[in-house]
Structures are given as C-alpha cells and as structure tokens.
Amino acid sequence: MSGPLLPLLVEPQTLQENLHQPKLLIVDLSDQATYAQRHVPGAVHLTYAWLVRKTPPALGLLPDADALSAVLSEIGLHHNDHVVAYDNEGNGRASRLLWTLDVCGHPHWSLLNGGHYAWFNEGHPGESGVNTPQPSDYRVSLPPDPPALAERDWILKHLDDSNVAILDARSPAEFAGKDVRAARGGHIPGAVNLEWTRAMDRERNLRLLPPEQLLAMLAERGIHPDLEVVTHCQTHHRSALSYVMLRSLGFEKVRGYDGSWSEWGNDPETPVESGGP
C-alpha cells in the first residue's frame, strides 16, 4: 500500500464504506465491558494501560521499544496496515495510540471522528463479543529523537525558542495553578491553554470542531502551522487528542510530551509559571 487508505480524520460513513478493506485494523480503546457489548465490526480491543509506562511521579511515559513491540504484535498489527482507532471517552485514549504509532514511525493511521458516540448514535452497524486477533511480529525501533516526541530535556532546551509553542490541554484551573495535581501547580513557562474538550463539538457527537473554528481558536493563542507545537496535559492522555487535532489541521511539526505535568510539576528543577492566560 503506497498511500493512506483513509484520511487522518475519518468520518463514520467513510469507515463503514471501507470495512471490507483487507489491510484495515480497527482498534477500540473503550473499556472492556463496553467493547464486548458493542463495537465497530471487526474491531479488536486494546487496554489503554498497555500504552503507558508509569514511573512515579511520571505516570504517562512512553513504553520502551520491546514493550511497544509486544503490545502492537498482540493486536495483530503489521507494518502495512492502516489503523483506525476510537474509544467511548472523547477519543483521548484512541489518540494516545495514534500518537504512539507516530512516534514508532507507523505510516498510516486515522482517528474515527466522534468515536463510539458518532458511530452508534448515527446508526452504523455494530457487533458484540470479542475479536481475538492473530498475533503478529511487529518490531519497534525508536530513533534517539523521534520527531513526534518531546521529552523534558528537549522542552527545557527550547523554552526560549520562538519557533516552538507549548499547548497545554489541561483545564484552565490546572493551568492557572488553582487545581494542583503535582507537587507544584501552574504551567510550563510560555505555554498557552486550550482545554482538550473545547475542541469537541457536543452538537455533533463529540467530533472535532470544523477546521476553521479550530484554526481560529489556535490563532487566538498564537499557535500557527509554521510553528513546532508541543502538546501536553497531566499524562499525555487528553493532550493526545490535541496532537491528532493539530495533525488533522495540517500542522507538520507536532510533538507530544509523554511526561507531561506529572513529570514537570513534580520536578523541583523545572521552571513553573502560574496564573491565567
């Protein structure tokens, strides 16, 4: 397969029309009970916890290459598959999988726009039970500086870089330091705040808002496609959706900070700002 089978942000109707494609792997990251009750036909289940490495106080780190190889092999992924991911919690979990695939260099993936809600609320077919995939031998080889990953030291080196922007997907209260979920509250110096749920269209089954609205919201915060943008939240769960959102809008230089605030806010050596935008 030379190019992507589906757009990066795929609508439910488009996915339904392509369910027969042989190189399509649909991954459901809802909770196990919801998946077993009803899921997109052919979808396999992936437990979200398998995608994160907890090294307290940092609770959302990227697993190492061997662990990722095992997880992606377990769901039957092959290097030429096109992955479509979704969940029933606003697509943060699904986006974390897709960001992980980006870090690993997997070329073709899509987010089901609106996830579980859009698919079933709009009458698309479902099935129950469990699909057990045939394990593959998917091997991950992580480069020293994956272009989709921002680690703490990378961010520290780029705090004064005018070509880099930091997009904080946490709530305004977390950003301002009023809701403290680490040793320190506040935000990374220079960061701007766009809570992840503000990108969702609640009138359209939690799809992402139309591109023109999202681009306007980002521009208000000084975020433009010519910048390199780092997304983060507390554990790079919520901000994974922000990552996919930016990619869907054509941003070419986007990184996710896996340590996020659980690492930054608990490190006494990192600088912190408080207060609103």
How far from chain centre, in Å, is Cα 100?
8
Three-state DSSP at 101 gives helix
Which candidate in 72, 200, 233, 244 is catalytic? Answer: 233
3-state secondary structure 156-178: HHCCCCCCEEEEECCCHHHHHCC
Q: Measured between alpha carbons, how far is 18 from 39 in angstroms, rounded to an integer?
A: 16
Phi, psi of 232 (to 5 degrees): -155, 165
Say if residue 125 is exposed, middle or buried (CB neighbours under 10 Å; 0-12, 13-18, 19+): exposed
Q: In what order do the strands lie in the sheet with 228-232?
A: 192-193, 164-168, 228-232, 254-256
Give catalytic status of residue 233 as yes or no.
yes
Q: Tally Cβ neighbours within 10 Å of residue 31.
A: 16
Active site residues per annotation = 233
